[in-house]
Structures are given as C-alpha cells and as structure tokens.
Chains A and B, each alone.
Chain A
Amino acid sequence: MTNTLPKPQSSVHPLQSFIDRLLRGEAMLPHSPTNLLEVVGILKSYGMVLDAYSKNLIYIAEEQFLVLFPFFKYFNGEVSFAKLLKHWNHDRINYEYAEYCMRTMLWHGGGGLDAYLDSPEFKAACEVAVQAKIKTNLPLRALHRLFPEFLPEQVRQSAYYSGLGQFWTVMAEIFLTLSDRYDNGEIPDIPAVVKYIKDGLVAAANVPITYSVTISGQKFDIIPDSLGLTFLPDTAIPYVEAVFFRGTPFWGTVSYNAQAQQISPDQSRFTYGALYADPLPTGGVGIPPTLLMQDMRHFLPDYLHDYYRQGLRGEDDLHVQITQSFQKSMFCVTSAALQGLLPHSAETTVPDEQAANQAFLASWMDRLMTSRIHVVQLSDR
C-alpha cells in the first residue's frame, strides 16, 4: 500500500551545528591558528580603511552638503596639486567603495533611520536646511522650484553618508583595538575575536546617531539628537542586512546571468552580500569588492602579508586571498552581531527563552543556507 502520509519534517536545522556554536559563544568560523591570523590581520587593515572611509563620508555629509558637483569630495578639504596627481595616479583610498555601501544601505533601507527619512519631521527639518542653502544659490533655487523632491532626496543621501560614517567610526575603533589586543597576546582564538567584537557592539549600541550641517554659520539639525536614533538598531543592523546579506548584484560580487532572470525582482531576497561573495570574480574593474581589496592591500600587517606570500601563487592572487580572509572575518562579525542580538541570554536555561533563541538563530541560518558558510569551514585556501 502506498504511504500517502506526509513525511515528518526533521526538527534539526541543516545548519544546527552553527546555531549550537553561536549559543556556546563560538563563531560560525572554526578556530584555527591561520584563521585567527587571517581574521585579525584583515580586520586590522579593514579598520585602517574604515577609518579613512568614515572620515570622508562625514566630510562629504557635512562639508559637501547640497554641492551638486562635488569634484573634490574625496580630498577632505585639502586640495593640492600633489594630492590631485596622487588621485589621478589612483594611488589612493578608493572612497567610491564607501559610497557603494552607503547607496546599498539607502536602497535596502530598514531601521529607524530609513523610517525617519520618509517622515514629515524629516521633510520639515530638511526643508529648513534646503531653504537656507538655496537662499544665496540661484541655480539650486531654480532646481528646487522645478523639482521639489530632488534636493530632499539628496539630503536623504547625505543623511546616509553621515550615518554610515558614524557607524564605521565605531567599527574602525573596534577593529583597530582588537588588533592591538592581538598584538599584545590577549586574543588567543576566534571565539575571543567574536567576543571582543560583540562587546564592542554592545558597548556602542546606544551611541546616538545625529546629523547636522552648518550653512552660513548657522547649524541645522537634519537628524536631531532628540529623535533617539542609536548605533545598533538604526545603523548596525541595517548595515549588516544591506552589506553582509543582501548586497547588490555587481559583477564581481557574484557570477550571474541576468538575462536568465537569476536576479530576483524582490530585493529582500537578494543574496549578494559579503557572506555570499565569490572570491573568484569574473573580472572587471571598479566593482566594490575589488576597490575594498585594493585599499586593504595597502594596510596589511606584515604577518598576514607573509602568510599570503606563502600561497601557491604568492602575490599574484593577493586580492583573492584578501577576499577570502575578509569573508572569514565577516562571518566572525556576523556571529558577534547575532550573539549581541539574541533575544535572551545564550546561557539561559528557560525552555521558552531557549526556544526563542533557537528560532531567532534558525531564521538567520535559513538565509545563510546559500552563503559561503560551508566553504569557510575548509582549511584550504
């Protein structure tokens, strides 16, 4: 007789081992001496780069406010011929990467910042600043008259410039101090890395996110302190969602065939973020991961650079190796973020709380099923 009853579904999540690891305070990345070396080393160089990115983002938000042709936005206010030559020579920080991330956050939205930027309060605050800006700028005034939504949209973008800049300021500090602690021998393994990052995130969780611009000597609040936007829910979580998980289907991030409709029309189902990125892109220049890897290459600690040189292709595939290490480190950061966001303490013995923690992590693991989580478990590069 044919059994027509539905098969009982397994209650064990396919990535249950990772859920268990996270609940034990470990990371999704297994510990090994090389993993530790790679993660801390790459986070050191990432911290250096993030520091530069964050300063530039904040500079653009505050000093290039409603400058429609910001030719020197990457110069941080120090325009000189020598710096111009360096810029043209491309021997510089690729600030474009920071803008890609900013636009990715703006596009995917989420969190209090996104909600606020669509509110009447923002509209009102924005309009005050815009009016102050266009008072002495006739072309801008004409533009605002003709297209009243254009300048507010620019201000929304500026708000994200500032928000991401403030987020990265905190993260750069965490990663650089992590490196210092590692150099002092205080970070013995990968769980210690995750714990350090988690503690940093938790400590900064309530850091306020604000944004104001000064026009003709007068200060205008775009994101006022009174709004109560804070680091963790309003920038960190949207950032993780937008950059680690969803991302944007740039060539080089992943290989895909858009004509075969391999790109979902629903952006919430995007899986082109850092945790899914293919370290072996099909080539091309100007794509975000390439830019970030180029930047990090300048700040690699010696021990990590030596490790890369020992690879099969030595320096030839440095960017690929950096991408692999970066991806490992992002699994650590994601681990820290998920542990920090657990609805209940990981050590709880209350069954309902344990179930809630399990459900929370399982929902994230559902999304990581197609990520590179299995590949980073391998010891081969």
Chain B
Amino acid sequence: MMLSALILIPLAGAIVTSLWPQEWPADRIRKIALAAQGISLIWVGWLATQYNITLPGMQFVSSLAWIESLGLTYRLGLDGLSLPLLFVNSLLGAIAVYSSPVTIRRPRLYFSLMLVISSAVAGAFLAQNLLLFFIFYELELIPLYLLIAIWGGARRGYAATKFLIYTAISGILILGGFLGLVWLSGASTFDYDPGFAQTLTLVEQSVLLVALLIGFGIKIPLFPFHTWLPDAHVEASTPISVLLAGVLLKLGTYGLVRFGLQLFPAAWSEFAPWLAGWAVVSVLYGSFAAIAQRDMKKMVAYSSIGHMGYVLLATAADTPLSILGTVMQMVSHGLISGLLFLLVGVVYAKTGTRDLTVLRGLLNPERGLPIVGSLMILGVMASAGIPGMVGFISEFVVFRGSFLAFPAQTLLCMIGSGLTAVYFLLLVNRAFFGRLAIRPPSDAVEPDLNLPRVSWSDRVPAVVLAIVIVALGLQPVWLSRWSEATIVALRSPIVELAEASTPAVLCETSTTFPCAL
C-alpha cells in the first residue's frame, strides 16, 4: 500500500477532477491536481525517509494476484534505481501542473490526463511484473497523445500521431520481448526475475534483447528512432514538454537498465561495444543536429537525444560507477531539460517566437526577461556540465565509469559534452545578448520594444528546479546515496565474475566502486 499510494494518489486526483459532478472553475481544478501531485511528492519524500539505503534488494514489496492464468501479478517494489526517478516524476508532475495556465481549455480533461500520466509512470517505475510494467508503459501513451493532439501547436495532429505510432511500435516490441522471454524460459509468471534468461541460448537472448533495445530505443529516443521527439516537443505545450523530456523519456532508459541489462546479461555483454558505438552516434548526432536548429525548443529537444546517449554508454559499460551514472544522468537530465523547456516556454509566451534568428537581447534588464535569461544561462551551464551543478557530476560519473570499459567511445561522447556548450552558447548568445529584438531588423520606424511583464508565478517552477540542480551539484551524495547499494546488487553475473578475479588486496584497500573498475 505504501507504494500503491504513489499510483493511487494521482489517479484519485484524476478521477476527482474529471468526474466530480459539480461545475468547477479551471483554477480550482488546477489546485486539486497540484494538491495531488504535491501529496505524491511528499509521499516520495516520506518513502525516502523509510527507505534503507544499505539494503540492496527491493523494499516495501507488495504483491497481489491479478490474472493468475496470464501470470500477471500486481507486484510493486522500490529500489535505488526507481526511487530517484519517482522523485523526478512527482516533482516534475507538480511543476507541470503549476506551470499550466489557469485559462486552459477543457481543464477537467487536461489536468486529469496529466495526473493519469504521473500515475502510470509511477506504476512503471515500481512494477515488478513484466506485464504490469507493460500495462503502465502503455497507459501513459494515450493521455500524452491527447495532451499533444488537443492542446498542442499548429501541427499537433501530425506530431501526436507520429508519437503514437512510434511509441506503439515501441510497446509492441517490448511486449514481444517480454512474451518471448517468458515463453522461451518456460516460466509460469511474468514476475520480474533477473534469472529469467539463464536457460536461454545466446541467440535467443540476443533476439529478445534486440526487441527491447529497439523498443526502449524509440522511447529514449536514440538515433535513428528519434524523429518523433522534436516534432512532439515543438507541438506540445510547455508543461507537456517538461513531462515528456523530464519523465517519459526516462521510461526508456529505465527499461534499458532494468530489463535490457538485467534480464539478458550474457547477450548484453556481447552487444556492449556496439551499444557504446550506438551511444556515440546518438550523442554526436543529437549534438550536431542541435547546433543546426533555429527553434529554441527543437534545440533543447535534440540536446535531449544527445544527453540520453550518455545513459546508453554508461549502461553498455556496465560498471558499478557507470550504472550509478545512468541513475544520476537520468535525474540530472530530467531536472535540466525540465528547466530548459520551462524557460523556453516563458520566452515563447512573452515574445511569441522561439526563432533564434530573430530573438535578441532578452537579458535586457528592464524590458527583456533578465531573470528568465539568468536562469537559462544557469540551465545551459548545467546541461553543458559546468561544475557546481548536477549536470557536471552526473556526466563525470558516466564518463569515469565508462572510460575503462570503452575509452574511445567515452572520449567521443565527451566531445558531445563539449558540443553541448557550443549549441547552448549559440542559443544564449543569439537570444539573450545584444539589443532587445523579437523581429528581424527593418527600416521601418518602430516604437521601442516592450515585452509583457513576467510574473513570479512564471518564474517559480524554474527557480525551484534551479535550486535542486545546484543543490545536487554541490552535494551529489544526496542523489547517489539512494542507489549505491542497489547498483552493486544489480550488476550482471558477468561483471561479478570479472570482479571476483580482482585481487582481494586491491578490494580491501579501495572503496567498492574503484575496486570494481
């Protein structure tokens, strides 16, 4: 029940907001949704206080038989991999609701869909049954499709349909992988068990792993399955972009670590060098594509593709430090991309454009968006891995953890980190420095530009994220402490075997992670 609450609280909020018989103003519905997300966030915080960071396995496990003939069990568990992601889900869920305008059309449907997404994502992070994970994974699909299709931009129909098709294929592949795994292993239940694939041949493991890799690769997304993401971001409203980049993409990377790596360790180790190469391609493609963008939102979207590549690299490396890096990078990217999308949203709301060829001088102290601009500079610095913010430590751990396993690929990915500074400096330089302008220069005599006032309610969500980004950057142990014990236990038998051959004296004189390297 402790874990089910994280699914039920937003779900209850969704039911109340959508089905309450009385007519409510949009502001009240928004407050109820915010309350539901706030209670979820508090609940995650409370769970964290009850969570034993020294125990490696699942905690607070609850299991209820559901459809036994199918092997479907309502089985939930919490470990160091899912706890930080649940925090990001609840935090960004609350921020997405808060940053949604009170004037939104059809507020009952809008906020209830957002709450359903939060509920489904929490369920996916907690699910300890493959079918249950799939159900939650698919459950967030329709609400997100509707949120883009109804409240999106001009090409929302195209973007939403593209998103739906891509992620439906992703779901089919994942379901196929899960069904194949259980069928070939001869198991009678879909309950999560890392030993599922022990009886499978390497070929069988490889086939199933490929299905999961493509399935989760679409969701993450990785090159060349990424094309739905920039369209979805551009057409989605700001709060939906925050959810999409900050939370929903993490389902892919989480699935990669939880199911790809853990269920198929032998095949994974065979595929690892290729996966690291894939990560390089994805990182560099995302970075170079971001440089070429003129739409701020597309630039941040392509940046996501690049930064998600780091997670693939670290997962491929499969060292304790790199796996810790995956968790940290998922959280870090969730927070930073959430911040950047929020700020791009404010810029768009106030200027009416995201076009980097016309936006100039938004840091103007009195008529521009100076605080938004300052937060944007902080956000892009965090994304580029400047020390003192969570982006640095997560990328550092990813690269440090991956370097010994795949030095060349790691170095190439580090180029991607440098490219992040390039495209985000382009963004900041174009949009925020120089003389204030939101239109191309012309010979016409025009009055001095006057942008609408930015209220503190526009800034508060970004300020909250910025504080968390800096706090976790200055004190990364607040982020890593939840996952360390779990990650040691999560490691694949292959690596355990290699580590067993490490001279004991080295292990005794070293901490766990350097020893394992």
| CA–CA, A231 and B446, complex, Å | 38
Q: Is B450 in contact with A381, judged by CB distance below 8 angstroms?
A: yes
Please tell me which one of the listed residues B364, B435, B450 contacts residue A311 in the complex, with CB atoms under 8 A apart: B450
Q: Is B435 in contact with A381, judged by CB distance below 8 angstroms?
A: no
Please tell me which one of the listed residues B433, B446, B450 contacts residue A313 in the complex, with CB atoms under 8 A apart: B450
Residue of A nearest to B367 (CB): A317
Q: Is A280 in contact with B435, judged by CB distance below 8 angstroms?
A: yes
Please tell me which one of the listed residues A280, A314, A375, A380 contacts residue B361 in the complex, with CB atoms under 8 A apart: A280
Tell me, yes or no, whether A283 is within 8 Å of chain B by CB.
Answer: yes
| Smallest beta-carbon distance B439→chain A, Å | 14
Please tell me which one of the listed residues B433, B449, B452 contacts residue A280 in the complex, with CB atoms under 8 A apart: B449
| CA–CA, A380 and B449, complex, Å | 10
**In chain B between 436 and 475, which residues have their CB closer than 8 angstroms to a CB of chain A?**
436, 445-453
Q: What string of 1s and 0s marks CB contacts (under 8 Å) between B355-378 and chain A?
A: 000000101111100000000000
- Contact A375:B445 (CB < 8 A) given known A255-B435, A283-B365, A320-B367: yes
Tell me, yes or no, whether A324 is within 8 Å of chain B by CB.
Answer: yes
Residue of A255, A311, A317, A380 with most partner-chain B CB within 10 A: A317
| CA–CA, A282 and B449, complex, Å | 13
| CA–CA, A320 and B447, complex, Å | 12
Tell me, yes or no, whether B434 is within 8 Å of chain A by CB.
Answer: yes
| CA–CA, A313 and B369, complex, Å | 11
Set of chain A residues within 8 Å of B363, measured between Cβ atoms: 283
Q: What string of 1s and 0s marks CB contacts (under 8 Å) between A268-307 and chain B?
A: 0000000000111111000000000000000000000000
| CA–CA, A312 and B450, complex, Å | 7
Q: Is B448 in contact with A320, judged by CB distance below 8 angstroms?
A: yes
Please tell me which one of the listed residues B364, B447, B448 contacts residue A283 in the complex, with CB atoms under 8 A apart: B364
Set of chain A residues within 8 Å of B448, measured between Cβ atoms: 279-280, 320, 324, 375, 381
| CA–CA, A320 and B452, complex, Å | 14
| CA–CA, A279 and B366, complex, Å | 10
| CA–CA, A179 and B363, complex, Å | 36
Q: Is B436 in contact with A280, judged by CB distance below 8 angstroms?
A: yes
Residue of B nearest to A285 (CB): B365
Residue of B nearest to A318 (CB): B366
Q: What string of 1s and 0s marks CB contacts (under 8 Å) between B315-334 and chain A?
A: 00000000000000000000
Q: How many residues of A contact B (CB 8 A)?
A: 23
Q: Is A316 in contact with B453, judged by CB distance below 8 angstroms?
A: yes
| Smallest beta-carbon distance B432→chain A, Å | 10
Set of chain A residues within 8 Å of B434, measured between Cβ atoms: 255, 282
Q: What string of 1s and 0s marks CB contacts (under 8 Å) between B213-236 and chain A?
A: 000000000000000000000000
Residue of B nearest to A257 (CB): B434
Q: Is A278 in contact with B435, judged by CB distance below 8 angstroms?
A: yes
Please tell me which one of the listed residues B435, B446, B450 contacts residue A282 in the complex, with CB atoms under 8 A apart: B435
| Smallest beta-carbon distance A354→chain B, Å | 30
Q: Is A312 in contact with B453, judged by CB distance below 8 angstroms?
A: yes
Set of chain B residues within 8 Å of A44, measured between Cβ atoms: none
Set of chain A residues within 8 Å of B449, measured between Cβ atoms: 280
| CA–CA, A139 and B357, complex, Å | 59
| Smallest beta-carbon distance B431→chain A, Å | 14
Set of chain B residues within 8 Å of A312, measured between Cβ atoms: 450-453
Tell me, yes or no, whether A13 is within 8 Å of chain B by CB.
Answer: no
Set of chain B residues within 8 Å of A378, measured between Cβ atoms: 445-447
| Smallest beta-carbon distance B352→chain A, Å | 14
Set of chain B residues within 8 Å of A255, measured between Cβ atoms: 434-435
Q: Is B450 in contact with A319, judged by CB distance below 8 angstroms?
A: no
Residue of B nearest to A321 (CB): B366
| Smallest beta-carbon distance B428→chain A, Å | 14
Residue of A nearest to B364 (CB): A280
- Contact A280:B367 (CB < 8 A) given known A311-B450, A312-B452, A313-B453: yes
Residue of A nearest to B447 (CB): A380
Q: Is B366 in contact with A316, judged by CB distance below 8 angstroms?
A: yes
Tell me, yes or no, whether A374 is within 8 Å of chain B by CB.
Answer: yes
| CA–CA, A314 and B433, complex, Å | 23
| CA–CA, A319 and B449, complex, Å | 14
| Smallest beta-carbon distance B503→chain A, Å | 59
Set of chain A residues within 8 Å of B435, measured between Cβ atoms: 255, 278, 280, 282
- Contact A313:B366 (CB < 8 A) given known A280-B436, A282-B361, A381-B450: yes
Q: What string of 1s and 0s marks CB contacts (under 8 Å) between A355-381 and chain B?
A: 000000000000000000011011011
| CA–CA, A318 and B363, complex, Å | 16
Set of chain A residues within 8 Å of B436, measured between Cβ atoms: 280
Q: Is A314 in contact with B445, judged by CB distance below 8 angstroms?
A: no
| Smallest beta-carbon distance B442→chain A, Å | 13
Set of chain B residues within 8 Å of A283, measured between Cβ atoms: 363-365
Q: Is A319 in contact with B366, judged by CB distance below 8 angstroms?
A: yes
Set of chain B residues within 8 Å of A317, measured between Cβ atoms: 366-367, 450
| CA–CA, A377 and B449, complex, Å | 15
Set of chain B residues within 8 Å of A320, measured between Cβ atoms: 366-367, 448
| CA–CA, A316 and B436, complex, Å | 16
Set of chain A residues within 8 Å of B450, measured between Cβ atoms: 311-313, 317, 381
| CA–CA, A316 and B455, complex, Å | 11
| CA–CA, A311 and B361, complex, Å | 21
| CA–CA, A311 and B450, complex, Å | 9
| CA–CA, A311 and B448, complex, Å | 13
Set of chain B residues within 8 Å of A279, measured between Cβ atoms: 448
Residue of B nearest to A284 (CB): B365
| CA–CA, A317 and B369, complex, Å | 11
| CA–CA, A279 and B361, complex, Å | 13
| CA–CA, A247 and B453, complex, Å | 32
| Smallest beta-carbon distance A379→chain B, Å | 8
| Smallest beta-carbon distance B508→chain A, Å | 58
| CA–CA, A320 and B363, complex, Å | 14
Set of chain A residues within 8 Å of B445, measured between Cβ atoms: 374-375, 377-378
| Smallest beta-carbon distance B251→chain A, Å | 41
Residue of B nearest to A379 (CB): B447
Residue of A320, A375, A378 with most partner-chain B CB within 10 A: A320
Set of chain B residues within 8 Å of A375, measured between Cβ atoms: 445-448
| CA–CA, A314 and B367, complex, Å | 11
Set of chain A residues within 8 Å of B446, measured between Cβ atoms: 375, 378
Residue of A nearest to B436 (CB): A280
| CA–CA, A4 and B402, complex, Å | 75
**In chain A between 322 and 381, which residues have their CB closer than 8 angstroms to a CB of chain B?**
324, 374-375, 377-378, 380-381
Set of chain A residues within 8 Å of B361, measured between Cβ atoms: 280, 282
| CA–CA, A375 and B445, complex, Å | 6
| CA–CA, A313 and B445, complex, Å | 22
| CA–CA, A378 and B444, complex, Å | 12
**In chain B between 479 and 508, which residues have their CB closer than 8 angstroms to a CB of chain A?**
none
| CA–CA, A296 and B365, complex, Å | 18
Q: Is A282 in contact with B366, judged by CB distance below 8 angstroms?
A: no
Set of chain A residues within 8 Å of B367, measured between Cβ atoms: 280, 313, 317, 320
Q: What string of 1s and 0s marks CB contacts (under 8 Å) between B410-440 and chain A?
A: 0000000000000000000000011110000
| Smallest beta-carbon distance A232→chain B, Å | 33
| Smallest beta-carbon distance B52→chain A, Å | 50
Set of chain B residues within 8 Å of A324, measured between Cβ atoms: 448
Residue of A nearest to B433 (CB): A282
| CA–CA, A325 and B379, complex, Å | 37
| Smallest beta-carbon distance A281→chain B, Å | 8
| Smallest beta-carbon distance A316→chain B, Å | 6
Residue of B nearest to A320 (CB): B366
9 closest A-B pairs by beta carbon, nearest first, are A380-B447, A317-B366, A374-B445, A255-B435, A313-B453, A320-B366, A378-B447, A312-B450, A280-B436
Q: A311-B450, A316-B453 are in contact. List 8 more A-B contacts (CB 8 A).
A: A280-B361, A280-B367, A280-B448, A281-B364, A282-B435, A375-B446, A378-B447, A381-B448
In the assembled complex, 5 residue pairs joining A and B whose CB atoms fall closer than 8 Å, in A order, are A280-B449, A282-B364, A313-B366, A313-B453, A317-B366
